[in-house]
Structure 1
Amino acid sequence: MGDTGTSELVRMWIDGWVVSRGSSDPIDEPWGWTIDVGQARHVARHVLPEPSEADVRKIVATTSAPGTWLKLFAEDQEVLPWVGPGWRLDVPGFLMTCPLAPEHTAAPAGYTLTRWTRGGVSRVLVRTGAGHFAARGQIARAGTHAVVDQVETAPEHRRKGLGGLVMRALQSTAYEAGARTGLLVGTPEGHALYSSLGWTTHSPMASLWYEPSDPAR
């Protein structure tokens, strides 16, 4: 990605993420972006690529809606003191990128791979020979970059290379559609897999949501 800064990478990630999730267009804020997600437990999210204590405290002070999320591109321990009661810490994330290229995507023996694209989002599904769910993922293209999202492997099918298969299939699909750079925010669990597939880590991401003990507050 050369000298691309965190703010630019985060914006590229957002551009694909909103396509993947069917969310609203990002609203520009002085500190980053606000996105309406529109789910009961995820009403909206505020994304700060370079969070400052003053900005985070200002957002927290004006937040009353449960299901409001903060996505702060910093370490958990740095930003946690900036929020007050009612804010819950989710697992940390890692902003990662990878140059896209055609990949080998043959499913291992005993599994089948299906992929399809609708509304700008390409999905990959891996099933057993009997049709049971084994793994999945999706990728949303935004111009020359694409964002990987919601990759998961069923517990009983882990450590069989299916996560890597899904990632290679997603990367190939996006490349064939014209994208050349992949982006994602991975969990600690996925970080090792993505690193092994050639993804580069750029920034940690702290993820918090508002769920007050007394919802009437």
Structure 2
Amino acid sequence: VSDKGCKEIFKRMRQRGVADGPSSLYSLVSALHLASADVGKEGMAALQELLMSQMCILTSLDLSSTAIDGWALIQALRGNATVTSLDVRRVPGIASMFEAVGDLLLQEGGICRIGYMRCDAYDILEGDKVISLRERVIGQGAAKLLAGLLKHNDSIVDLDLTATDLEKVSVEAIAAVFAFNEALTVLRLTFNPQLDGEAKAALTAAAEKWKPTLRLEL
């Protein structure tokens, strides 16, 4: 689909469908798949309009293998409370924005509530109860994003982050979401050398305060 085609799709969604139907087809679309589409400047502007519309009910958005403007997407998601699942695999430059997306999801009072994401760092899929990222290096940006996803994720019960080379600040971000996440029951963090005694003590304290039944492996 070309950029012009994307714009036309959004234009038709914005228009009234039938005489006695909804004022906009925005209110009928819950999933949108634009994988490999040429989402250029015009298409991105139209997508932003959809995401920020009060009539938007979109919960799943697939933008994989596109060249979207990541910063424009982040700004649109900042004003969206419906999208819970996002696919941004093979999107050029998106990895450099992981931390910004994580900050968005962790923002106090923020309305964005994405809890499931497919990206080049990992897949957090709807319905998955056990996630293993064992022995996979997770950078600071990807870790901040993971913390943000955990804040809104209601399915993961067992998360294995063994030997992922997590930084201390990344684990602090994960500990901060214990107050919001109700599903997680097992968190494995062994063999992460940057987690010193202070970091482990802070994790244990956060778990005791917010998730006393959490099995924490340090």
Q: Considering the TM-score relative to the shorter chain, is it more than 0.5? A: no
Whichever of the two has the greater Rg, that structure is: 2
Q: Where is the helix percentage greater, Structure 1 or Structure 2? A: 2
Query: Under a length normalisation based on structure 1, what TM-score does the superposition of the two structures give?
Result: 0.23
Q: Relative contact order, CA 8 A, sep 6+: which one is greater? A: 1
Q: Where is the strand percentage greater, Structure 1 or Structure 2? A: 1
Query: Under a length normalisation based on structure 2, what TM-score does the superposition of the two structures give?
Result: 0.22
